[in-house]
Amino acid sequence: MVRIGWWLALAGLVGGAASIFVPWMHQLVVTGSGRRARSSVESITVLNMPYGLWYVLFLCSLFALVGTAAMGVGRGRKLAGVAGPILSLLTACIVVGLIITYDGKAPAGGRITDTAITAGSWLGLASLPLLGFACGLIAIGRAGLYDADYVLA
């Protein structure tokens, strides 16, 4: 179980870290009017979206829970095994909320005509169940290995 958890954790960590830097949305911005109208496509990362910082904070908390499941002992490991899947579900709700409620951010003198979801949002959404399951699998797989009953003082 631990090996499967490690592979899930590795894929989740890489996908989650990449989702912070890869654009989440593209928006088509039109400036001017008539014949002088110009259109351009702008990329929006998660930190430029409203409440995007909450996603990054929850993702970093998931990273810490994976580490606690891997290196923690006793109650810390058990807590990480339970809290990891729950926090990944809450973070997935934040991702879905960010995706479906974002209407675009108009620059000065322009208007938004279209928005589209890009790879960053899919990476963010796909990495969350991987991290949550990794916390549980690593914590369960390490059960009894390093508990206080087995540690020689």
Taking the CA atoms of 66, 68, 73 and 75 in sequence, report the sign of the dihedral they define. Answer: negative
User: Does any domain span residue 151?
Assistant: no
Asked if residues 132 and 82 have their Cβ atoms less than 8 Å apart, the reply is no
> Do 99 and 121 form a contact (C-beta atoms < 8 A)?
yes
CA dihedral 34, 35, 37, 40 (to 10 degrees): 140
Question: Domain for residue 91, yes or no?
Answer: yes
Residue 86 is assigned to a structural domain of this protein: yes
Does 58 fall in a domain?
yes
Q: Which domain holds residue 33?
A: 2-141
Q: Could you tell me if residue 150 is inside a domain?
A: no
Please report whether residue 147 resides in a domain: no
Number of domains in the chain: 1
CATH number at residue 58: 1.20.140
Q: What is the pLDDT of residue 144?
A: 66
**Is residue 71 situated within a structural domain?**
yes
Can you give the pLDDT of all 153 residues of the chain as single tens digits? 778 888 999 999 999 999 999 999 988 888 888 888 888 888 889 998 888 999 999 999 999 999 998 888 888 888 988 999 999 999 999 999 988 888 877 777 778 888 888 899 999 999 999 999 999 899 888 776 555 554 444
Whether 148 is in a domain gets the answer no
